[in-house]
Amino acid sequence: MHDRLIGFRTLLYKEVLRFWKVSFQTVGAPVLNALLYLLIFSHVLDRHVTVYGDVAYTAFLVPGLVMMSLLQNAFANSSSSLIQSKITGNIIFVLLPPLSYREFYAAYVIASVLRGLFVGCGVLLVSFLFVELPLAAPGWIFAFGLMGGAILGSLGVIAGIWADKFDQLAGFQNFLIMPLTMLSGVFYSIHSLPAFWQKVSHINPFFFMIDGFRYGFFGQSDVSPWLSLAVVGVCFVFLAVLTLAMLARGYKLRA
Amino acid sequence: MTTPAIRIVSATKRYASLQALAGVDLEVAQGEFFGLLGPNGAGKTTLISALSGLVRPDGGIFEIMGHNVVSDYRNARRNLGVVPQELVFDPFFSVRELLRIQSGYFGIRNNDDWIDEILASLDLTAKAGANMRMLSGGMKRRVLVAQALVHRPPVIVLDEPTAGVDVELRQGLWQFIRKLNRDGHTIVLTTHYLEEAETLCGRIAMLKSGKVVALDTTENLLRRFASHSLGVRLENPEMAAALGGTLAVGGWANFPLERYEDLEPLLARLREAGARILELRLGEADLERVFVEVMNRA
């Protein structure tokens, strides 16, 4: 194998091993969180709400929770790894070797996607114990899971590089990622919102990630999955270019 | 002509109002044991960081074994091993895992034979499976050295490797680094322990305010800058100042000697002045004096 590929694969392996070694916290805990959301919301709302005509609320909720967990954990993976490495100083072990900034980006983002997928699959598997869920178009599920994880993985790299303290990273997570996720239609269909808030939802890229993901289960969604895929694709390209530009400049990494 | 291990031409770097490097030119030949000395803030770490790609210089050329650290960074970095000043480690992994991962970053798989050899040389074999968090400071320092060596770099930079390290470990570490140097590795050392630099380094550069203010073989620096001294314990030490000496504790006075030939005339002057000498000792020139003198002159 070419030694460049070995370098990239090693960084990817290290990033995966890093979260896998504490999988109780990085995979198990988010699955439990999602399960609690599911039990509470389904208990309260299942008999009162149906979506897309005849879809039970609990079934509607599951894809949203899966995607929310996937996105949040993809972000947490790259951002926490980078900020910890920066603060403890061990980031130099990644900066001294002959790794390119593209390899650096790819390794961190792919590891984030993998953690997101692990958590997402965990939530989905546990949900199957409680809910019968159709799989109308699995290709869409996979495509949006992959793209959503890559977008949040990239955002995590940006936040991890930008933040100098855990406090700043928490701000990024609590004031940007969390509101965008919670207001994206995880818990509701935007058709249940007033017209104004429906329009507001359309400027939230997280809405398109979750709506497209949900289409894969039910074959129905608030907007066309192709539109969602286009929005998500443009977001990913924008963030990938931005992150690569930051890494190429050595922003906050190579002073 | 052989390619220099390190070549730095007109290196500059500014951080806001601080000129960290102000036009540094330096060449280190292959196989040298080279010392980089200077007070805190002189630019040593910035120079090493720019050489290893951790810092982007504003100007100048940096080459390792003929490879430019910017345009040919992959080959430059493959040829360089850096032991950082700070005691940094990744708390998620064991010593062996870290060394395997570090090997992989440099494109090396199945490196366990060499890893075992390094672990044995650094007396870390028993700790190979231990998590980094469980190691003492001295052991963590040794792991840093091991990490810098996993890819067998011909050029090794040690940035204050013995800061806060006990005597036993320090001696063990130098024994190992000397062996690496004998095996052909180029060693660049920064340290505040000047006696270490004097003992180990064949050539030394001294930096002040981002400039090289002295660059020569250790022997020449000692010869050029530092004088010897005569220490005498006098029955009547108060008279030393009048004869050009400086008073020290316990009735001792020190008199500078440019050359050994000046010893006899100095003793004659002391006798003539009525000084009664109780004890006498000759002080050799050392790098600490050279350092102080160079820094004062620059």
Predicted TM-score (pTM) of this structure: 0.88
Taking CB atoms and an 8 Å limit, are A3 and B88 in contact across chains?
A: no
Could you give the ipTM of this predicted complex?
A: 0.89
Provide CB contacts within 8 A for A180, sequence distance 6+.
Answer: A204, A205, A206
Asked if the model's pLDDT at residue A114 lies above 80, the reply is yes
Residue B246's pLDDT band, with cuts at 50, 70 and 90, is confident
CA–CA–CA angle A202, A205, A208 (5° rounding)? 75
By the 8 A CB rule, do B160 and B87 touch?
Answer: no
DSSP A175: I
Is residue A99 less than 8 Å (CB to CB) from chain B?
yes
A178/A204 Cα distance (integer angstroms): 12
By the 8 A CB rule, do B117 and A9 touch?
Answer: no
Taking CB atoms and an 8 Å limit, are B75 and A3 in contact across chains?
A: no
Kindly report the number of other CB atoms within 10 A of residue A224's CB atom.
12
Least Cα distance to B81 among B186, B184, B11 occurs for: B186
B115/B137 Cα distance (integer angstroms): 20
Residues 23-82 of B with CB under 8 A from A: 49, 52-56, 73-75, 77-78, 80, 82
Picking from A218-227, B58-67, B171-180, B257-266, which range would have the lowest pLDDT averaged per residue?
B257-266
Residue A87 identity (one-letter amino acid): I
Is residue B92 less than 8 Å (CB to CB) from chain A?
yes
Q: How many CA atoms lie within 13 A of A199 on its CB side?
A: 2
Kind and range of the H or E run holding A202: none
Phi/psi for A170 (5° steps) reads -60, -40
Kind of pairing between the strands at B252-257 and B246-247: antiparallel
Kind of pairing between the strands at B6-15 and B155-159: unpaired
Domains of chain B: 6-223 (3.40.50.300), 227-297 (3.30.70)
pLDDT in tens, B232-245: 888 888 888 888 88
Is residue A14 less than 8 Å (CB to CB) from chain B?
yes
Helix intervals (H) in B111-249: 112-121, 137-149, 167-182, 194-200, 218-225
Three-class DSSP category at B101: helix
Is residue A139 less than 8 Å (CB to CB) from chain B?
no
Picking from A146-155, A187-196, B143-152, which range would have the lowest pLDDT averaged per residue?
A187-196
Residue contacts between A and B (CB atoms, under 8 Å) = 86
Locus of tokens 């050009």: B244
Residue B249's pLDDT band, with cuts at 50, 70 and 90, is confident
pLDDT in tens, A22-40: 999 999 999 998 888 888 8
Is residue B13 less than 8 Å (CB to CB) from chain A?
no
Distance of CA B201 to the CA centre of its chain: 7
Q: What are the boundaries of each domain within chain A?
A: 3-249
Is residue A98 less than 8 Å (CB to CB) from chain B?
yes
Asked if the model's pLDDT at residue A189 lies above 80, the reply is no
Provide CB contacts within 8 A for A101, sequence distance 6+.
Answer: A244, A247, A248
Kind and range of the H or E run holding B201: none
Asked if the model's pLDDT at residue A148 lies above 90, the reply is yes
Is residue A89 less than 8 Å (CB to CB) from chain B?
yes
A180: tokens are 């965008």
Task: For an interface test with A, give the residue of B92, B132, B157 to mutate (most A CBs within 10 A).
Answer: B92
Provide CB contacts within 8 A for B226, sequence distance 6+.
Answer: B285, B286, B287, B289, B290, B293
Q: How many CA atoms lie within 13 A of B231 on its CB side?
A: 11
Q: Give Cα separations from A227 to A16, A182, A240 (angstroms).
A: 32, 21, 20
Of the partner residues B54, B78, B107, the one whose CB lies closest to the CB of residue A6:
B107
Three-class DSSP category at B150: coil
Three-class DSSP category at B282: strand
B242/B257 Cα distance (integer angstroms): 16
A109/A116 Cα distance (integer angstroms): 10
pLDDT in tens, B279-294: 998 877 778 878 888 8
Taking CB atoms and an 8 Å limit, are A92 and B109 in contact across chains?
A: no
